[in-house]
Amino acid sequence: MLISVIIPCYNIERYVERCVRSVLAQDCSQELEILLVDDGSTDGTPDVCDRLAGDDPRIRAFHQKNGGPGTARNTGIDNARGELLAFADGDDAMYPQMLSSLAGALISTGADIAVCPFRTVPVETAQGAGEPGLGMTGSSAEESTSEGAEDIRLLSREEALHFLVVEDEEENAPVIQNAAWNKVYRRQVFEGIRYPAGRYEDILTMARILASVKSVCYVDRRLYAYTGNRGTSIMNGSELESILTEQIPAYRARNAFFEEIGHRELIPMGDYLIGKKLLILYTQGHSRRETRKAADALGRAIREWFRPRFDEIYHCSIADKHHALRMRLFLIHPVLYRAFTALNEGIVLPLRLKLRGRRTTEEAA
């Protein structure tokens, strides 16, 4: 059974070879092909892709005008020959057991998609070299839940959608994620489904994918290495504007989709988690003069979204009263929210930590 691994590449000349080598180092018995899709890179990425394709017949390189990771994935899907599909971002890596574990679980359970959690590694590690983690220390095999045995959980369509939305707010919840890259798919999953252009392309698409399948198997083992702190800081105006013009509309489109398929119960939980993230981004953006204007625009969008539906959102099953208080203060006025946050983080939390440390010292004595 052939597995096609699709890797979108945009200005990642320092990382892409590491990613490709991690795929080639997989311990799976299935045949592999790698599709490198250069998405209009302006650095040396196209040359690296061509060189890698020339070095190994299992690798093919494609070049296209810049359209975002979604259009690059679509090019890969359209040209893939495999019965199973997997994705990786070109600055990430797979641990050696990833494809064998996920493909094996997919085949043994009859599920349509296999999913695993991931490990975040620093960008400095991603620039390293070596085998098989290519600069990473440790082995994901050590992180199995039971002495190296696979802990596989079969999820229904409804369960998969629920865990996609609630993320890690529920104890022992499977890590589904919007991302394409921590999964192996049967090819037919993408019949009639493609990624849209632009950023945040996976928010609606993953919901559509999960809603189209019968079951998903979850392998509780961190088998994918996600590169954190990639150099794109949220602390600039363009990133905040992108959240306003692309991310928020993507989540609204997902809400409309949930309504359409009869899963309106997912919307308040999703909005609650989005609200938590947006308040953090607002706070970060407002803390710097150069991003304050963009943060104020984001703040207006937050108030427009959450004010009419506060009670519905903050009475959902995963809502926390402390986050509800923060949002309520923000909706009254952002100045009140910022004052509360400054007081809490500048005085209350340090005092609690100090008292906790003193109590621990006394107990130890």
Is 360 a domain residue? no
Give the model's pLDDT for residue 365: 57
Residue 359 lies in a domain: no
pLDDT score, position 214: 97
d(CA 202, CA 364): 50
Confidence of residue 202 (pLDDT cuts 50, 70, 90): very high
Q: What pLDDT shows up at residue 142?
A: 41
What pLDDT shows up at residue 345? 79
242 in the same domain as 223: no
Do 113 and 200 fall into the same domain? yes
Tell me, yes or no, whether 248 and 219 share the same domain. no
pTM: 0.88
Query: Residue 14, Cβ neighbours under 10 Å: how many?
Result: 15
Residue 293 lies in a domain: yes
As for how many domains the chain has, the answer is 2
| pLDDT 10s digits, 206-265 | 999 999 999 999 999 999 999 986 555 445 568 888 899 999 999 999 999 999 999 999
Residues 85 and 31 in one domain: yes
In this prediction, residues 341-364 reach a mean pLDDT of: 72
Q: Buried b vs exposed e over 323-360: b needs ≥16 C-beta within 10 Å? A: bbebbebbeeebeebbeebeeeeeeeeeeeeeeeeeee
Average pLDDT over residues 348-361: 68
Query: Is 63 within the bounds of a domain?
Result: yes
215 shares its domain with 261: no
For residue 357, being part of any structural domain is answered with no
CA distance 230 to 233: 8
pLDDT tier for residue 5 given thresholds of 50, 70 and 90: very high
Q: Is 48 within a domain?
A: yes
Residue 160 CB neighbours (<10 A): 26
The answer to whether residue 348 is domain-embedded is yes
pLDDT at 240: 87
Sequence-ordered list of residues with C-beta below 8 angstroms from that of 295, at least 6 positions apart, any chain: 240, 281, 282, 284, 285, 286
Residues 215 and 259 in one domain: no
Q: Which amino acid is at 176?
A: I
Window from 20-24, 318-322, 360-364 with minimum mean pLDDT: 360-364
Instruction: Show Cβ contacts of residue 173 under 8 Å, excluding neighbours closer than 6 positions.
Output: 163, 166, 167
Regarding whether 182 and 302 lie in a shared domain, the answer is: no
- What SS3 class is residue 279? helix
The residue with greater pLDDT, 162 or 356, is: 162
Residues 94 and 142 occupy one common structural domain: yes
> Which two structure tokens, joined as six digits, stand for 66?
């810049």
- In sequence order, the 6+-apart residues with CB closer than 8 A to the CB of 119 are 140, 143, 222, 224, 225, 226
Least confident of 8-12, 190-194, 235-239, 253-257: 235-239
Please tell me the predicted confidence (pLDDT) of residue 307: 97
Tokens of 294: 């963009």
Q: Which of 208, 227, 246 is the last residue of a domain?
A: 227
Name the band, by pLDDT with cuts 50, 70 and 90, for residue 364: low
- The domain in which residue 315 lies consists of 237-352
Whether 189 and 310 map to the same domain: the answer is no
- Mean pLDDT for 335-349 is 86
Mean pLDDT of the chain: 89
Residue 334 inside a domain? The answer is yes
Say which CATH number the domain at 220 has. Answer: 3.90.550.10
Residues facing 220 on adjacent strands: none
Residue 85 has pLDDT above 80, yes or no: yes
pLDDT at position 198 is: 84
Q: What is the DSSP letter of 293?
A: H
Q: What is the DSSP letter of 117?
A: -
Same-domain status, 90 and 218 = yes
Q: Which of 227, 249, 266 is the last residue of a domain?
A: 227
Mean pLDDT of 56-70: 96
On whether both 316 and 215 belong to a single domain, the answer is: no
Domain boundary among 167, 199, 227: 227
- Tell me: do 245 and 155 sit in the same domain: no
Q: What confidence tier does 348 reach under pLDDT thresholds 50, 70, 90?
A: low
